[in-house]
Amino acid sequence: MKLACNTRMVPGNTFAEKLSKIAAFGFEGVEVRLLEDDMHPDKWDEIEKAIEESILKPSSTICITKGFMVPLDSKENLEIKIASARASLDVSARLGIGAFVTPEYRPQNPLPLWDGPRAMTKFEEELLYHLMAEVAEYAEKVNALALLEPINRYETHFYFRIQDVKELINKVASNRLKIVIDFFHMNLEESNIAESIRNGVGFIQHVQLGDSNRLLPGRGHTDFVSGFTALRQIGYAGYMALECQVPKNPSEELPKCVRYLRQCIDKSNK
């Protein structure tokens, strides 16, 4: 397993400067986070050149387009979501990595407190299936992978657990849809992180790392060793990318985190 870092976590005046720092901190890969302006041809050429010249390998891409925060609650918004997903898949196809496709990411209202998360309506289920079917078809067309992330109940009401996404992928019946797991979200939603990972064999394509408090690993109470052990058991050998908050100076904290995670990886191999 290899360590990567999301570009939003590292300061830098240029994309190349960010990549240089990520490599210096000891990471092997980079999770590419792009805003819509970054995907303009003029800016994109600069970004693609920086990636080509870097020793880092891209692990996945998160494209924040105008449709990212749009709710999937109408046929009009479905078309916006489809366009957003296609733009992300176009980028991922050029880089040869998976693209995050997120049907819903926004604070829930009302918050799911004692009563838990609200269920999808039948109409929302139909929209979600239609979106995923369109995503799978386009991913096949451009030879890309779409990554679906189980997100905690406070940020979506569509799917929360690995099992939820497995069921959706099986319903669409496409090998172009894969799962990205995030230890922060799993800490909230999975009753047993290691067991859930083992049940995700054949579906898990990418891993994100954040502790129980959404800070750097080692700052909360998440048992990363058991999770990494489960990943080894299912044969996962891909990237594990930091996607969380850095509490202090990244130049000091990120190298420390790399050392901590490598210790966890070593322990998971015993």
Cα separation values, 109 from 23, 53, 153, Å: 40, 45, 11
Instruction: Determine which one of 28, 104, 134, 243 is catalytic.
Output: 243
Q: Is 149 among the catalytic positions?
A: yes
Instruction: Determine which one of 28, 104, 134, 149 is catalytic.
Output: 149
| Rounded CA separation 43/34 (Å) | 10
Burial class (CB in 10 A: 0-12, 13-18, 19+), 143: exposed
| Rounded CA separation 244/261 (Å) | 14
Block residue for tokens 């039948």:
122
Is the separation of the CB atoms in 135 and 177 below 8 Å? yes
Per the structure block, which two tokens stand in for 154? 């406070």
Residues labelled as active-site residues: 149, 243
